[in-house]
Structure 1
Amino acid sequence: MAGHGGARNRSGPTPSPTSARSDARDVRAKKLTVGGYAGDFPPLSNFLPDGTEREGVVWASLWRTPQAGQWIKEAWRHRAVAMYVRWLVRAEDPEATAATITAAQRLADQIGMTPAGLRENGWLIVDDDATTNPEQQQKQEAVRQSHGAARTNGGGRRMRAVPDGEG
């Protein structure tokens, strides 16, 4: 019987790139610009030699998303993106089975095309200005530092210890 115990994908809470604990462990989300990727990308025929015209259209549109800027740096993802294209096009069919739609959804998660997939990959889509504007970066760093270790009651007021019997 296989599959006993051990860590599993998505088990437990995912690290929050905005928490003080993640800052302490230097866990930061990779920022992807909302403008998307504008560079060259590999031809679909490298991965799906029998690709259809619709698959080619979907492939080209995916390579203009913010996630594509990360895929191009990680060639090992290209095949997963191609498989996502194939299963997504199949899932578009009104007669598609639940298994086909599930396969497309799982691949979407793997390549970061869903909110859960973005979190799983440690990616965050941000305004183009937020990644290149030094003033914006300084503001973000100041907010991170001011909220770093302070514990608050949720209303912004800092929590403090009270003497025994007064709480």
Structure 2
Amino acid sequence: MARGGHAASGPAPDPNALRRNRPSDKAGWRTLPAEGRSGEPPEWPLTEPTEREEDLWAELWESPQALMWEELGQALEVALAVRTLAEAERADARIDIRKMVRPYLDSLGLTVQGMLRNRWKIAPAAEQDEAPAIAGPEVPRRPGPRSRLKVVRDGDGA
């Protein structure tokens, strides 16, 4: 009798797990550079792309995951994902088209689960001299419940 479910059944691999001597871990993890892939994207492999597909295509081929797609020869898979995503973004998109997007994103490592299943990690970004863009003014912390407590001493001074 067959065991298990579909190919993605069970928890995704964890690169920080304590027990790392499983036979399935022999392949190891790939660390992708945070700066992503440089250069022009490959030639579009499908029929004439729309303007939105061209934008998505160029954007995705700058991602860190694009290095692996190039190594694995996945231009066609990326193009199909781009075409499906562009179609799913439309307001009148059919629900079955929208449901197809998530598996594409997972298989290409564009979601957290997809990154884990592909055993890809993105290296930390290089330190920058500038302050982070999300830094704002410091907000004072609210006093905690301990701040309302007072020390009460005996009348003897003890």
Between the aligned partners of 1:50 and 1:6, the Cα distance in structure 2 is 43
Who wins on radius of gyration, i.e. which is larger?
A: 2
Deviation sequence 1:134-154 (CA, Å, 0-9, x none) = xxxxxxxxxxxxxxxxxxxxx
What residue number does 1:104 align with? 101
CA deviation vs aligned residue, 1:56-95 (integer Å, no higher than 9, x gap): 11101100011111111110x2111000000010011011
What residue number does 2:2 align with? 5
**Which amino acid is the alignment partner of residue 14 of structure 1?**
A
Q: How does 1:4-153 map to 2 (within 5 A)?
A: 5-7=2-4, 8-22=6-20, 25-26=25-26, 28-44=28-44, 47-75=45-73, 77-129=74-126
Instruction: Give % identity.
Output: 31
Deviation at 1:26, TM superposition (A): 4.5
* Aligned-partner residue type, residue 56 of structure 1: E
CA distance in structure 1 between the aligned counterparts of 2:113 and 2:103, rounded to whole angstroms: 10
CA distance in 1 between counterparts of 2:69 and 2:39 reads: 12
Deviation, 1:27, is 5.4
Number of aligned positions between the proteins? 124
* Cα drift, residue 36 of structure 1: 1.2
State the shift of 1:19 in Å.
Answer: 1.9
Moved over 6 A (4+): none
Three-state SS of the structure 2 residue aligned to 1:21 is: coil
Q: Deviations over 1:113-132 (max 9, x none)?
A: 111111111111121449xx
Q: Which has the higher helix share?
A: 1
The secondary structure found in structure 1 opposite 2:75 is helix
1:38 Cα offset (Å): 0.6
- Native 8 Å contact 2:85 2:101 kept in 1: yes
Aligned residue identity for 1:32: L
TM-score by length of 1: 0.66
